[in-house]
Structure 1
Amino acid sequence: MSKTLPPAPWTRRDDLARLVAALGIENVRWVGGAVRDTLLDIEVKDIDAATPLLPDEVMARCKEADIRTVPTGIDHGTITAILPTGPVEVTTLRKDVSTDGRRATVAFASEWRDDAARRDFTINALYAHPDTLEIEDYFGGIDDLAARRVRFIGDAHQRIREDHLRILRYFRFQARFGAELDETAEAACAELAETLKGLSRERVAMELLSLLSLPDPSETVARMHRLGVLPVVLPECCKKGVEALKASIETERRESEAPDPIRRLAALLPALRPVAETVAARLRLSRQQRERLTCAAERNEGDVADPRALAYTESRECAIDRLLLQGASTTPLRGWDIPQLPMKGGEIVQRGIATGPEVARTLRAVEARWIAEGFPDRQRVEAILQEFLQKRS
């Protein structure tokens, strides 16, 4: 694999050239995902830069160049430059002073290698010169990238002890980029899996959902389960759940449905609402995520019999989740807009029913019949209402 960054479109952005000119060409290196993904010919979404300049100096130079900045992570040396075609995070070179597995105390550094040494994996410690596009590779990241190998920088056990989240990051990167397994890394993750208990729930949830968002993380998740990593962060999952995840991903592909991390999380769990509620609370999912997870947990065989009724009573999103989790087709929902009952309670009152609970009961009965008959037009709904009124009289 080349040690020079291919001239991707993002490397020719005029606004990036302005940023480089403001900071000084020898004070900027593109680093991390943008470099890695360009080498792999993957679309670059975020651009990060490293610099030996201190944050105050970065902001001052950007201000002189009329580039707006936001101190998004100034305590850790990160300034976000707001550019016309997208923001760029500019971070001062750093080195670790102390770590406890959850957070690190850092000091600013002046050497690129010191900054590279504190990063997690060799494939993330690649620095590209903004003009020549020549890559500085201090730890063999280019060779690892060519081999599709995710390898810790230095001793895997030590790197995990510095930040326990690196266990989950390892598996996410392995699922995304890996082909050749690093046995040393796998063993370290297994041995130190219990350290994940000390992490904040939000950090665990972020990594877990990021992993489940990938095209097909099923083999990686199965390996996490075998190694004892998954049971630490998701004890509700058993082997059956791992198998269910694989099956649901196969159904997603067959039905041309996009990957979804909440649906896949539901696949890993028993189909029980209390379990879903417990997991949602522990991972501190958003209200919307919690509602989806619990709705998916209530899946049953009746869902498959009438997908449109399910979509109407729950939601299209929940219906798709339940169908895919049960290996069923989502074809009945494609191109179908969920209708509204073409009748209001006031119309029932006009037919002689006194305002009150009886109106609501009648409307619910009409709606249930309307759903059962496949959402017929208003004329049929009026006939259904008339039938109920005649029975009542």
Structure 2
Amino acid sequence: MDGLTDTILPNAAWRARAGLEHLATVLGSEREEARFVGGVVRDTLLGLDAHDLDLATVHPPDEIVQRLDAAGIKAVPTGIAHGTVTAVSAGTVVEVTTLRRDVSTDGRHAVVAYTDSWRKDAGRRDFTINALYADPGNGAVYDYYGGLADLAAGRVRFIGDPYRRIAEDHLRILRFFRFHARFGDRIDEQGLDACVARANDLMALSRERIAAELLKLLVARSAVPVIALMHDRGIFRPILPEIDAAGVARLHELAEREVGAGVAPDAIRRLAALVPADTAESVGARMKLSSADRKRLTLAGAGIGSEGARGLAYRHDVGIALDRLLLAGADVSPLLDWVAPCLPVGGGELVARGLSKGPLVAQTLKRVEARWIAEGFPDRVRTAVIADEETAATLASAR
């Protein structure tokens, strides 16, 4: 049978999810009309946890919806114009997509037509390791373009001519490096050469798509050497010219500090290491990051301040404090498993001590808070108030 191999998909935990067998049966898996595809197959073969479940089927979208409705399975037309329906079967969420072939592409968008050919559907995918299919019943793996061999070799390889595949979708340049950073042991030179030659094509992409790929890449297993390779080969020049050799060095140092501190890698923190601090705000805006991520990116390089690690975390939050401490090479251990307390005194208590309501209460409370932080966040603030001569005098004069 075309594409059938001797490889059997391991019996991973996700295969026993509620409603999954019923969904596959409704879509005709017993007649080879539906198969798992892509990341769920690839990751399961590698012994990794698979999260997103994708099923490919020969049925057109309207028929998929009809079958699901008739079986009592919720159908959500998330991408029905492109052949994708989200199925929710007994709480299990699966993306169901009709087999497709490309009719035309412009580097950003593709016009597709439906097909009943598994090989043609595989042929329109980007890399061989992402074009693996598995029978939902017996777990038999189908491989049309050598994906199993590439998976075993730790090689990310385009399906067909790399230049043509990049011309179809320019984002594949960044995806090539992201998948190599996650799965690769040796670079595919043909693919690398094509990415370098076509790097300027990235300028045609939306900044949101670029940012999404870059942030995923930054936390991949081999992100640091792959980012260095991309910088050396000029991949960033058209889209992020701010990244220079110093930024690559800062990323390397940050990654080592994250490991040493037992802190998980973070994409925004790593991006902050890559770009000069004085460009962080403009980079965040150009990449159209969320307001929260832009704030983190901008604050990450602002240094550690004068109130210590916990003072910094209290003033901002633990995440921002971790960013700034790690980037500055400072000790982050005081923040591990620490929850910022609340100031155990309020304006009402100061008024009860004799202060008149108004600006003076806020000013005094600010001084009390600063002293409380300096003394290490004691449960009570009486000693801090008394020790602060200016605050004590203010309270005394108010009596």
TM bracket, shorter-chain basis: over 0.9
Q: Aligned partners of 1:50 and 1:285: how far apart in 2?
A: 32
Which of the residues 305, 314, 317 maps onto 1:315?
317
TM-score (norm: length of structure 2):
0.93
Equivalent positions of 1:1-393 (< 5 A) are 3-13=7-17, 15-25=19-29, 26-272=32-278, 275-300=279-304, 302=305, 306-376=308-378, 377-384=380-387, 388-390=391-393, 393=397
Deviations, residues 295-342 of structure 1 (Å, cap 9, x unaligned): 213125x46x71111111121111111111122221111233212222
Deviation of the 1:5 alpha carbon: 1.8
Contact 1:209–1:262 at 8 Å: present in 2 too? yes
Following TM superposition, where does structure 1 have runs of at least 4 consecutive aligned residues deviating by more than 6 angstroms?
none
| Aligned Cα root-mean-square deviation (Å) | 1.8
Deviation of the 1:14 alpha carbon: 5.1
After alignment, is 287-296 or 138-147 more displaced? Answer: 287-296
Deviation of the 1:232 alpha carbon: 2.4
Give the residue type in structure 2 aligned to 1:383: I
Deviations, residues 134-176 of structure 1 (Å, cap 9, x unaligned): 2221111110001000000000011001000000111110000
Deviation of the 1:238 alpha carbon: 1.1
Gaps of 5+ in 2: none
Contact 2:386–2:392 at 8 Å: present in 1 too? no
Give the residue type in structure 2 aligned to 1:378: V
Deviations, residues 248-290 of structure 1 (Å, cap 9, x unaligned): 1111111111111111111111123xx2211111111111111
Deviations, residues 225-249 of structure 1 (Å, cap 9, x unaligned): 1111123222211111111111111
Q: Aligned partners of 1:130 and 1:388: how far apart in 2?
A: 72
Give the residue type in structure 2 aligned to 1:221: I
Give the residue type in structure 2 aligned to 1:166: R
Give the residue type in structure 2 aligned to 1:167: I
SS in structure 2 opposite 1:297? coil
Q: Aligned partners of 1:50 and 1:155: how far apart in 2?
A: 24
Corresponding pairs, count: 389
SS in structure 1 opposite 2:7? coil
Q: Aligned partners of 1:113 and 1:287: how far apart in 2?
A: 43
After alignment, is 283-292 or 337-346 more displaced? Answer: 337-346
Contact 2:17–2:92 at 8 Å: present in 1 too? no
Deviation of the 1:129 alpha carbon: 1.7
Q: Aligned partners of 1:13 and 1:306: how far apart in 2?
A: 47
Deviation of the 1:86 alpha carbon: 2.2
Q: Aligned partners of 1:12 and 1:348: how far apart in 2?
A: 61
Contact 1:342–1:381 at 8 Å: present in 2 too? no
Contact 2:177–2:226 at 8 Å: present in 1 too? yes
After alignment, is 83-92 or 378-387 more displaced? Answer: 378-387
Deviation of the 1:10 alpha carbon: 2.7
Contact 2:372–2:381 at 8 Å: present in 1 too? no
* Aligned residues with identical type, % of pairs: 52
TM-score (norm: length of structure 1):
0.94
Contact 1:343–1:381 at 8 Å: present in 2 too? no
Q: Aligned partners of 2:361 and 2:145: how far apart in 1?
A: 74
Q: Aligned partners of 2:151 and 2:311: how far apart in 1?
A: 49
Contact 2:24–2:34 at 8 Å: present in 1 too? yes
Gaps of 5+ in 1: none
Contact 2:312–2:321 at 8 Å: present in 1 too? yes
